[in-house]
Amino acid sequence: MVVNILLVIAVLAALAAVESRKIFNSVVAFGIMGLLLCVTFLLLGSFDLALIQLAIEVALLLSLLKFTQATGEKEIQKGWALLNYLAAVILVVVFTWFSFDLFRNLPGAGANVQRFLALNLFNLLGVAGVVFGAVVGAAAVLRPKGKDKEAGG
């Protein structure tokens, strides 16, 4: 029950994050959504890295806000064609509807546990590679000069 209430608030927070005019409020709403989801993960009995993920992501977004001085006032509502909205909404409705339908037909919990998978060594290596790649990639993108003869900036 508690989980359900948390989840409903999380959805509202997500909507607020998407639709808020001020970009700062957007980030705050996103943080609230993330926090609620992290509590849900805890209650569902699986504490995982999501809390660390959330902390890092909010910090990154805030640093981005500070760097770009973005306030979101000259927002972004103008000019998008009605068609685009329509296509997006149709996609979203169909997608959600199909997923709902699918979830109803899933077998019950524990219905078909075939084989307990030990922690896969290659997945571990792979995730290490992914995170390493992201860090090196970010460093590569943030190099002050891309080419030797470039004017900089």
For the segment 4-63, give every residue that binds another protein (CB under 8 A): 4, 7-8, 10-11, 14-15, 17-18, 23, 26-27, 30, 33-34, 37, 40-41, 44, 46, 48-50, 52-53, 56-57, 60-61, 63
DSSP state of 119: P
Among 25, 32, 39, 70, binds another protein (CB under 8 A): 70
* Smallest gap from residue 102 Cβ to another protein (A): 5
Number of residues that bind another protein (CB under 8 A): 101
Q: From residue 2, give the alpha-carbon distance in Å to each of 6, 13, 100, 103, 109.
A: 6, 17, 21, 21, 20
- What burial class does residue 54 get, using C-beta atoms within 10 Å of its C-beta: 0-12 exposed, 13-18 middle, 19+ buried? middle
* Smallest gap from residue 151 Cβ to another protein (A): 11
Which positions ≥6 away from 16 have C-beta within 8 Å? 25, 26, 29
* Smallest gap from residue 70 Cβ to another protein (A): 6
* Smallest gap from residue 27 Cβ to another protein (A): 7
Among 2, 82, 83, 100, binds another protein (CB under 8 A): 100
Per CB under 8 A, contacts with another protein among 119-148 are 119-123, 125-127, 129-143, 145-148
* Smallest gap from residue 94 Cβ to another protein (A): 9
Amino acid letter, residue 8: V
Interatomic CA distance for residues 129 and 125, integer angstroms: 6
Q: Is residue 152 a contact point for another protein (CB under 8 A)?
A: no
Amino acid letter, residue 127: V
Which positions ≥6 away from 54 have C-beta within 8 Å? 31, 34, 35, 38
